[in-house]
Every structure is written in C-alpha cells, then in structure tokens.
Amino acid sequence: MAATLLKEEYNPALHASSEPTRGQSAPTLIIGATRSGTSWLGKIFDSHPNVLYRHEPDDVIRLKALPLVCPVEDIPRYVDAAQRYVARLTAVRQIKASGTWPVFAKQFQPFPAPFVRRALVLGVRAAQEVSPAADWLKRIAIPDLISGGRSQISYVVKSVSMLGNAALLAAALPESRIIAVFRHPCGYIASIKRGLSDRIMGRDPSRPMVLATTRARELGFTKERYNQMPVLDCHVWAWAFLHAKLFEETAKLPNVHLLRYEDLCRDPMAQAQELLAFAHLAWAEETGNFIERSTRSSGRERYFSLFRNPMEAATKWKRELSADEIAHFTGIVEQVLPAGLVW
C-alpha cells in the first residue's frame, strides 16, 4: 500500500514518464484510510468517460519532502512541495497507478485506443503473474493514448496515505476537490482483522507517525506504549488519531467533502451523482452502468474485490466481531474522537 512514503526520494531516472503536463485541470483527490472504500469510489470516478484516473500513484513516486502527517501549524511550510508532488502524481503511468481493472473507454481516446490499453494492461498483469519478482514489470508505463489537448480531461488521484495531509492538500490546491472517505471504525478493524488472518495485511511501520497529531500529544500517547500494543489496537488508535485530525481540520473547508462509506453503500447512485457534481463533472451513463454492475453480488467475495453487495460489505463487521471486541474498539475511538460523533 501507499503508506510506504518517505522511504525514498522521487527518482526521475526510474519514472521518466512521471512528469506533469501543462494546461491540465486541477485534480480531484480521493483519500482515506486503507479498507475504507476508496478503491470502489475511485473506480466509480474512473468509469466516467472524461476522467483520467491514477490509483495510488504515491506508491510509485515516494517523496521525503512531505511528512506523512502534517501538523496544521506547519502547512505554510509545505504548500509548494505539496503542489509539485500532486502534479507529478497525475502523470504517473506505471501499471500500479494506471492499470487497475476494469479499464474503461474514454472520450479522449480515439478508436481503437481503449482496446489497445486493455490489451497492454492484461499483458503486463499476466507477465506479473508469471514473474511476480520482476521489478522491471512494475516500471512499465501504460500510455494514456490521448487525442487532442488535456484541458477537458478531469484528473482523479486516489490515495490511502494522504489522510494525515488533508488540510495541507486543501490549502495547497484550492481549485481541487478533495473527497475524504471514512467508515465505521469497527468496519475498518474487522476488515484489517480479516487481512491479518489471511496474511494480506500486517502491522504498518509508518503508523507511529500519527503520534505527532494533536490528539495524540494531548493524551500523552508515546511510541513505547504504541509498540507494546496488540496489532489490532495499534490499527484502531492510529485510525482514531488520523480521523480526529481529519474531522477537526477539514469539516468547514469548502473544497473538502467528508464521505461516510456507509452512506455510499446505502445509496451509491445518489451519492455518486452528488460527488461528481462536487468535482464539477456531469453525470455519465457509463458511471451508472458501472455502479449497477459493481453492486451485484456474485459468488464468494475476494478481499480486494470491487464487485459486492455494498450494504453487506458495510455491515459485515456486526457478525465478524464479538460484543467484547466491539466494546473494546469503540472504547478506544471514543477516547480520541470528538464527543457526539454519530456513526
């Protein structure tokens, strides 16, 4: 996941295709904690024929110039770096960012470009299945195959590592629209628990950085205490600190939309219409068609699947967690988040 930021500098020699293009519109950013529905929302946007979508490009280009969690008082210091970094992210074309499935046809891609892109993505993905350790495959850039200018293209960037920088992004990119997705903390932790059980997820070594948040300092939370906790407790405390920061700093910002995952699951069509309008995008029939397809449950659900019954996915935690676990995890969250927050 993209939480591995800060490990290496941006290297233009490795990512020669990752340079921004002049004349493009301000991007829409979809951010949230992992396991919060950001991938599904990203694909809802990607289904729009005018959208050029980048899936977690900050896992391809990593930058030391930005903190993973920016204190609100330090925002002016990092505005310029944030602007440059997001511009780079819109141009990342490596398979991780530009080759997520399904691949949609676009109005800015003349025939037979959509079929060529799909074939390229399938070819690279197949090669990765055969040679999963081949790093050079990860660096293959999938061409956008754009015809004409970029001024009419709407860029959308999805990230699971920018939640701690929501207020910074809002200040650095006032023309952009930022959608911050959050879900019930028990839904989040139940999904993490499943991932740990299946050895898909693990302890996130970057999470101690959330100790720099205001609420962590107010509670006297220490790295030593964090490191001695069970893995699930670490995830819950980190979730609570990051979301307390998100709600406190962005609730009244005009270019930030706080989206409850459960609301998206309850009425995805209406929520998608509202979100596209927020991002200055007209409704598209293709988006409606994708929502209908993706909300049909068919067979056993995979961990990272985009196609599922949304309300089943949103409420599964009520059957997966015991009453004691629910009380324990919600007790942690209630120590951190503002009083009166309604889930």
The one-letter code for the residue type at 33 is: A
Residues 6+ apart with CB under 8 A from 177: 26, 28, 29, 255, 257, 278, 279, 280
DSSP state of 287: H
- At residue 8, the pLDDT reads 33
**Lookup: tokens for 274:** 């509202």
- Write down the pLDDT at residue 18: 42
> In sequence order, what DSSP letters do the residues of 99-148 get, joined into one string?
-PSSPPP-TTS-TTHHHHHHHHHHHHHHHHHH-TT-HHHHTPBPP----S
The span from the CA of 71 to the CA of 173, in Å, is: 17
The pTM is what?
Answer: 0.89
Identify the residue with better confidence: 130 or 205. Answer: 130
pLDDT at residue 273 tops 90: yes
**DSSP per residue, 60-83:** TS--TTS-SS--GGGHHHHHHHHH
The mean pLDDT of the chain is: 86
Q: Report domain extents, the chain.
A: 2-185+251-304
Tokens coding 123: 């070819």
Instruction: Please check the confidence at residue 27 and state whether its pLDDT lies above 50.
Output: yes
Average of per-residue pLDDT across 289-307: 71
